[in-house]
């Protein structure tokens, strides 16, 4: 009888401290998020699971400013790029039904697609190693008017088919491109005979009881509890009037309640879908022998010693972030209906609250990667992002290695954690890798998404005579003409939808617009300019422009 009493006392104490611990966590998260508790602005909804169970669930701000409706745990938000996980899950279902293979040439299903030197396989679309250019960037460079013009997945396919080159050899590096997942959506629909929404509902969403989750494949269908996405402007908030219908890489809606089920699935809590979780987080080996950090709709990273599965999303009127740690059965989903609210920052700060005082220490008997503190001076210098004009300066100050980018305002201090590898002192999910490579000199990754840089030798703008670069240049790949002209000793650019863009010299024969676009003029043996190679956002490389007289 005494033993039973002691047992009951222990159980009571465990429950008491567990409940109080959760209350303490909730209070800390509440205090952190109180800034978003508004009655006249859009906001967000957040759900946190720990040890497999929900411990926090709240909405902040309004889902609809016109009708003063508040965000809640049932509000349906745009998932943005988190949608890629669901498109990848449809591929998993087709593989299970033996209707497709990861090693299949995509031209089996997309025979109209260009034939490049190397085969692009289904797995290359899933992990962003295909080298296919990002369609959003291509449309921007072509002067596409998102507010006035319509586009869908067929538009994306047609644009992709016009491209004469790739960013990289298939399987070489991870180069994030939404086009990959739009093409996967088309392939899924051609094989299944159903639209992506119907196929996902049948195979994934209904079995998981994710009844508020859907793919937007048509206009005019009402959605209960749908949040309106807003962009903050000087005179208030604006919502999107775009009528686009491209999907696969985005264009999905869900609630934090539904996404709780999804996070539990990713953490392998739902046995029937454990194979799906394992499929989504399987990574491929790159041609260099290095393991890719991007899996299949998910980024694999480590944070404070724990392996994380994560993905963010960004679109007009909203941002999103998902993080799970299977080892702790932990998950955080942040969905916003305001483009100004930084969902990734919020999610990682909540993760810091959950992991406060914790560090996942390996077993002492396990092999550890040891490293010597390196001489910081071997990393200092100026770098430029490949396929972009964004620059990064690495320098030493007060015995600390620091970085500052051309698009940043303040420098960030770096802390070494492995040979050639550092992370930001305040953000362990932002990493710098200086490991020698034939394709780059530095990789900066945000939660696993890589951005590649090379050493650069920048030139003095005053030493460049810009008049020689003037002229009209045409691209068949974008079907657009760029007009470069000199005004007040500055090279300027005008094209469809853009007028008088200021350019500045970057490297020899290269100019940038200070917005991740690079204009590299090409010359013949007589030193005469004959064309221009256009790169942008790190996701589009060397679009060919010919000078008008050479067409």
Residue 20 has phi, psi (to 5 degrees) of: -65, -35
Residue 370 confidence (pLDDT): 62
Confidence category of residue 292, pLDDT binned at 50, 70, 90? very high
CA separation for the pair 131, 179 (Å, rounded) = 10
Residue 484 confidence (pLDDT): 97
Confidence category of residue 448, pLDDT binned at 50, 70, 90? confident
CA separation for the pair 330, 3 (Å, rounded) = 34
Contact 304, 330 (CB under 8 A): no
Q: What pTM was estimated for this model as a whole?
A: 0.92
Residue 222 confidence (pLDDT): 84
Q: What is the pLDDT of residues 175-209, one digit of tens each?
A: 999 999 999 999 999 999 999 999 999 999 999 99
Average pLDDT over residues 155-159: 97
Q: What is the CA radius of gyration of the chain?
A: 25
Average pLDDT over residues 462-480: 94
Average pLDDT over residues 150-173: 96
Dihedral sign from CA coordinates of 379, 380, 386, 388: positive
- Select, from the ranges 80-84, 354-358, 486-490, the one with the highest average predicted confidence (pLDDT): 80-84
Question: In the 3-class helix/strand/coil scheme, how is 101-133 assigned residue by residue?
Answer: CCCCEHHHCCCCCCCCCCCCEHHHHHCCCCCCC
Residue 357 confidence (pLDDT): 65
Residue 227 has phi, psi (to 5 degrees) of: -80, 140
Residue 375 confidence (pLDDT): 87
pLDDT: which is higher, 439 or 479: 479
- Token pair listed for 426: 């305040």
388 pLDDT above the threshold of 70: yes
In 3D space, the residue among 527, 382, 389, 544 whose CA is nearest the CA of residue 477 turns out to be 544
Residue 161 confidence (pLDDT): 98
- DSSP secondary structure of 75-96: -BEE-GGGGHHHHHHHHHHHHH
Average pLDDT over residues 377-390: 95
CA separation for the pair 446, 104 (Å, rounded) = 30
Residue 364 confidence (pLDDT): 37
CA separation for the pair 273, 268 (Å, rounded) = 7
Residue 11 confidence (pLDDT): 46
CA separation for the pair 445, 422 (Å, rounded) = 11
95 pLDDT above the threshold of 90: yes
Average pLDDT in the chain: 91
Average pLDDT over residues 15-31: 70
Q: Residue 2: exposed, middle, or buried by beta-carbon count in 10 A (0-12, 13-18, 19+)?
A: exposed
Average pLDDT over residues 18-40: 82
pLDDT: which is higher, 341 or 9: 341
CA separation for the pair 418, 433 (Å, rounded) = 9
Residue 260 has phi, psi (to 5 degrees) of: -65, -40
420 pLDDT above the threshold of 70: yes
Residue 463 confidence (pLDDT): 86
Dihedral sign from CA coordinates of 464, 470, 474, 479: positive
What the chain holds in terms of domains, given with CATH numbers, is 77-132+167-354 (3.40.710.10), 376-455 (2.40.128.50), 461-550 (2.40.128.50)
Confidence category of residue 19, pLDDT binned at 50, 70, 90? low
Residue 83 has phi, psi (to 5 degrees) of: -60, -25
Residue 229 has phi, psi (to 5 degrees) of: -85, 135
Q: Which residue has the tokens 């800034």?
A: 35
485 pLDDT above the threshold of 60: yes
- Token pair listed for 169: 């050899």
Residue 61 confidence (pLDDT): 97
In 3D space, the residue among 332, 304, 264 whose CA is nearest the CA of residue 32 turns out to be 332
Q: What is the pLDDT of residues 512-531, one digit of tens each?
A: 999 999 999 999 999 999 99
Residue 352 has phi, psi (to 5 degrees) of: -60, -40
Residues whose CB is less than 8 angstroms from the CB of residue 406 and which lie 6 or more positions away in sequence, other chains included: 389, 390, 391, 392, 514
Residue 461 confidence (pLDDT): 85
Residue 159 confidence (pLDDT): 97
In 3D space, the residue among 456, 416, 424, 429 whose CA is nearest the CA of residue 440 turns out to be 456
Average pLDDT over residues 219-232: 90
Q: What is the pLDDT of residues 297-325, one digit of tens each?
A: 999 999 999 999 999 999 989 999 999 99
Residue 23 confidence (pLDDT): 72
Q: What is the pLDDT of residues 359-373, one digit of tens each?
A: 554 443 444 456 678
Residue 13 confidence (pLDDT): 42
Other residues' Cβ atoms within 10 Å of the Cβ of residue 282: 15
16 pLDDT above the threshold of 50: no
Count how many residues are written for the chain. Answer: 551
Average pLDDT over residues 73-98: 97
- Select, from the ranges 9-18, 235-244, 414-423, the one with the highest average predicted confidence (pLDDT): 414-423
Confidence category of residue 403, pLDDT binned at 50, 70, 90? very high
Q: What is the pLDDT of residues 51-69, one digit of tens each?
A: 999 999 999 999 999 999 9
427 pLDDT above the threshold of 90: no
In 3D space, the residue among 209, 263, 207, 254 whose CA is nearest the CA of residue 54 turns out to be 263
Cα separation values, 529 from 473, 507, 543, 547, 551, Å = 11, 16, 16, 8, 13
CA separation for the pair 549, 121 (Å, rounded) = 39
264 pLDDT above the threshold of 90: yes
CA separation for the pair 471, 491 (Å, rounded) = 11
CA separation for the pair 133, 152 (Å, rounded) = 17
Residue 171 confidence (pLDDT): 97
Left, alpha or beta for 538 (phi > 0: left; psi -120 to 50: alpha)?
A: left
Residue 55 confidence (pLDDT): 95
């Amino acid at each position: 009888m005494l033993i039973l009493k002691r047992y009951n006392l222990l159980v009571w104490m465990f429950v008491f401290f567990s409940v109080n611990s959760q209350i303490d966590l909730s209070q800390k998260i509440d205090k952190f998020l109180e800034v978003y508790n508004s009655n006249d602005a859009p906001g967000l909804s957040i759900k946190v699971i720990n040890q497999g169970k929900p411990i926090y669930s709240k909405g902040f701000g309004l889902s609809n400013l016109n009708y003063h409706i508040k965000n809640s745990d049932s509000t349906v938000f745009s998932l943005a790029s988190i949608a890629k996980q669901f498109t990848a899950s449809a591929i998993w279902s087709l593989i299970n039904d033996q209707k497709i293979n990861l090693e299949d040439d995509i031209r089996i299903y997309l025979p109209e697609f260009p034939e490049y030197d190397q085969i692009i396989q289904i797995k290359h679309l899933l992990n962003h190693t295909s080298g296919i250019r990002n369609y959003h960037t291509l449309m921007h460079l072509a002067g596409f008017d998102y507010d006035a013009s319509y586009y869908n997945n067929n538009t994306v396919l047609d644009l992709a088919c016009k491209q004469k080159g790739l960013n990289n050899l298939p399987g070489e590096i991870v180069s994030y491109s939404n086009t990959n997942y739009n093409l996967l959506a088309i392939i899924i629909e051609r094989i299944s005979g159903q639209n992506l929404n119907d196929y996902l509902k049948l195979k994934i969403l209904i079995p998981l009881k994710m009844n508020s989750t859907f793919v937007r494949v048509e206009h005019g269908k009402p959605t209960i509890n749908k949040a309106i996405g807003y962009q903050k402007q000087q005179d208030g908030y604006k919502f999107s009037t775009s009528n686009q219908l491209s999907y696969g890489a985005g264009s999905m809606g869900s609630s934090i309640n539904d996404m709780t089920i999804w996070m539990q699935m990713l953490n392998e809590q739902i046995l029937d879908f454990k194979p799906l979780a394992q499929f989504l987080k399987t990574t491929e080996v790159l041609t260099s022998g290095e393991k890719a950090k991007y899996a299949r709709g998910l980024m694999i990273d480590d944070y404070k010693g724990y392996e994380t599965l994560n993905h963010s999303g960004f679109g007009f009127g909203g941002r999103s972030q998902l993080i799970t740690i299977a080892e702790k059965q932990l998950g955080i989903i942040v969905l916003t209906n305001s483009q100004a609210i930084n969902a990734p920052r919020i999610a990682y700060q909540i993760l810091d609250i959950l992991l406060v005082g914790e560090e996942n220490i390996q077993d002492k008997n396990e092999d550890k990667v040891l490293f010597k503190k390196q001489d910081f001076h071997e990393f200092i210098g100026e770098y430029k992002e490949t396929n972009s004009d964004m620059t990064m300066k690495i320098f030493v100050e007060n015995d600390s290695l620091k970085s500052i980018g051309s698009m940043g305002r303040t420098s960030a201090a770096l802390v070494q954690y492995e040979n050639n590898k550092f992370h930001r002192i305040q953000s362990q999910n932002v990493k710098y890798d200086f490991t020698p490579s034939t394709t780059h000199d530095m990789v900066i990754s945000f939660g696993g998404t890589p951005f590649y840089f090379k050493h650069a030798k920048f030139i003095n703008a005053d030493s460049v005579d810009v008049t020689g670069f003037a002229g009209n240049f045409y691209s068949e790949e974008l079907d657009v003409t760029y007009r470069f002209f000199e005004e007040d000793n500055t090279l300027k650019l005008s094209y469809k939808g853009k007028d008088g863009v200021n350019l500045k010299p970057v490297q020899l024969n290269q100019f940038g617009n200070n917005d991740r676009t690079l204009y590299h003029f090409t010359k013949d043996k007589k030193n005469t300019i004959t064309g221009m190679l256009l790169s942008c956002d790190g996701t589009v490389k060397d679009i060919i422009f010919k000078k008008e007289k050479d067409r």
